Amino acid sequence: MDFKRFPSADDLLVLLTVARLGRFTAVANALETTHTTVSRRILALDKQLGGRTLERTPQGWELTDLGRAAVAAAEGIETNLSSLATGVEQRMDPVSGMVRVSASDGFGALVATPALVKLQRRHPMLRVELLSATRRLSRNRSGVDLEVVAGSVDAGRAEVIFLSDYTLRLYAGTGYAQEHGLPETGEGLKDHRFISYVESTLQVAELAQQHHRLTSEPAEFQATSVFAQIEAVRANAGIAMLPAFMADGQEGLVRVLPGEISQTVQFWAAARPESLRSPAVQAVVAAFLQEARRRRGQLVTD
């Protein structure tokens, strides 16, 4: 058999990683190599196959028809190598390797983190990088295997999975309530100070729209982190619309207009199709779904 006719298995696995992450720099970080090496590997694969496997788009690198065929072969190699390792070692867990997840502060800390820790206990070879970002679904999904976003999603080529609804409610600090009193109607909110996201950076339309329904003025205290907003409320800086699963029962916080104002938003998971075929990414999504179901009473409140 003339093995020189076959493309390099290493190059095919590099292409598989590009298909999952979308950017050469992210692939270089994942494989602990350089951007130049990744580019060289892809060029060598294209030469061996006699055509381009990738094309550049505004959403990052996307597979051509030839590239999709090559990725299918690469996934077979990945599976067979895992099977080989199973025979050599006592047992090779398919839920292993690195998974990179991007999620909002609240979901990341209170849902994703406990879910991932439980998953790692069952699969010790799984490594995780959790990045915090409150934003709309990224068009290039650069550098992550899985994104968790709030609000409506324009998926493009990504596959999306509904995780859970969650409730937003108004809260104030106990000291603020004692000093300024609490409004008895929505109209009374115009006389109060507000805490919210930094408007110039906020990408989630549902979160921006809710603030402007309450007041036409920008919030006096703005922060990109919902944890900073909670602490600002606790420090009596004003009133904020906060996730109930993060604020309910917190010392120093009281609900404002509890029977009148609330909002329901959704959490979605999104990933490239190539990423979702990874057993490790599938396990992470399943863990998020399980944790979200377990916490549904906290995420969605009456």
Name, in order, each residue with C-beta under 8 angstroms of 226's C-beta and a sequence gap of 6 or more: 104, 105, 106, 134, 242, 243, 246
Query: What is the DSSP track for 135-147?
Result: -SPPSS-TT-SEE
Q: Which helix (H) or strand (E) holds 196?
A: strand 194-196
What average pLDDT score do residues 226-243 get? 95
pLDDT tens digit string along 140-195? 445 789 999 888 776 667 788 999 999 999 999 999 999 999 998 888 888 899 99
Question: Among 136, 125, 124, 142, which Cα is nearest to 57's?
Answer: 142
pLDDT at 118: 96
How far apart CA 31 and CA 117 sit, in angstroms, is 23
Joined together, the tokens standing for residue 156 give: 């493009």
Residue 26 clears pLDDT 90, i.e. is over it: no
pLDDT at position 137 over 80: no
* Structure tokens that stand for 228 in this block: 């900073």
Percent of the chain scoring above 90 in pLDDT: 39
CB atoms under 10 Å from CB of 260, counted, come to 11
Q: What is the pTM of this model?
A: 0.73
Stretch 7-13: mean pLDDT: 85
User: If DSSP states are collapsed to H, E and C, what string results for 159-192?
Assistant: EEEEEEEEEEEEEEEHHHHHHHCCCCCHHHHHHC
| Mean pLDDT for all residues in the chain | 84
State residue 79's pLDDT score. Answer: 73
State the pLDDT at residue 245: 95
